[in-house]
Amino acid sequence: MLVIRPIQSSDFAALRHIAEESGAGFTSLPVNDGRLQQKIVHSEASFAQQVEQPGQQGYLFVLEDTATGDIVGTTGIEAAVGLETPLYHFQQNRVMHHSAELNVLNQLKTLTLCNDYTGASEICTLFLRQSYRKGYTGRFLSKVRFLFMAEHPQRFADTVIAEMRGVSDGNGQPPFWGWLQKLFLTIDFPTADHLIGVGKKAFIAELMPRHPIYVGLLPEEAQQVIGQVHQQTKPALKMLQQEGFVHRGYVDLFDAGPTIEARLSQIHSVASSLKVPVRLVEQLDHGQMLAISNTGTQGFRASFSDQARFDEHEGVLLLKPELADALQLSEGELARFIVLEKGRR
């Protein structure tokens, strides 16, 4: 069985392996022992903290295969980004250049450095090992964050964002990066990527362009990828769009991938989740494919299974005992769930 739980200190070796496997561009898990240890400690403290409003908390979950004890994926939430270290984006805008005398009207695209998402919550750090990328696992790994957020809304901001990976070439280099490197940063992409991953972001404010940039002046290959996602990121983007996330013109500084946003209360899996009592049953006919969690914080557990069914008439969630045990749920306790199959509640 695959179970989501909060990360703990004993997971360090597995987290480092995932950081190595995830590769360049996955800045939320840098291959840096100190930074990874810090993330685990910070996450453990965040889960333990009593929270009335979002702050510096960061929640990192791991996906464990209980049959083997292996950690096969990660997923995370930052409660409020940019409070301590600014979170920068380029914002896409349009400016009008008009000459009445010449009867010329030009509408030109620009990019402007900003930190407009300060204080927003961010879903992040989603990674699933290749051999587990099948069935409902990837969908569950994305949606389980919304179960936790629905249960503990006071821990998160009204606005939730997700930074989507932008386009890169066969060598892992973003076409958007070249002009920035040449004109402003004079460091290579792996170095910049590493600095971001370990939290050293001061160079952005110090070296990035402070004035709006006319997109038409950029190389053609850079213009073409603005707001576009990496081929492997398209399924994740589609899934979040189905949840209600939209792109309002903000893109990553280095690969120009889109940052998308939604209101927490309007995210489909948050709004449609139900919190009901559990009833244990030995036999279950016509099970549903559900993502189910308990209502804990430090003791949060979640899984997905068709060994469950919501009884609408009784208003209870029917679970087989082995699934309830994995979720640390007993008869009569409350659970929260969503249906994973498209088109069903």
- Which residues are known catalytic residues? 230
Sole residue written with tokens 């949060």: 300
Give the whole-angstrom CA distance, residue 199 versus residue 36. Answer: 11
Backbone angles phi, psi at 22, to 5 degrees: -70, -30
Is 339 in contact with 289 (CB distance < 8 Å)? yes
Pairing of strands 159-163, 121-128: parallel
Give the whole-angstrom CA distance, residue 168 versus residue 170. Answer: 7
Give the whole-angstrom CA distance, residue 241 versus residue 227. Answer: 14
Is 253 in contact with 89 (CB distance < 8 Å)? yes
Pairing of strands 302-305, 290-293: antiparallel
Which pair of tokens denotes residue 80?
A: 């409020």
Give the whole-angstrom CA distance, residue 123 versus residue 125. Answer: 7
Q: In sequence order, what are the residues at sequence separation of 6 or more whose Cβ sits closer than 8 angstroms to the Cβ of residue 204?
A: 86, 88, 253
Secondary structure (DSSP) of 50-103: --SS--S-EEEEEEEETTTTEEEEEEEEESSTTSSS---EEEEEEEEEEETTTT
Question: 33-48 and 12-22 helices cross at what angle (nearest 10)?
Answer: 120
Q: What are the Cα distances from residue 306, in Å, to 285, 315, 320, 338?
A: 10, 18, 10, 12
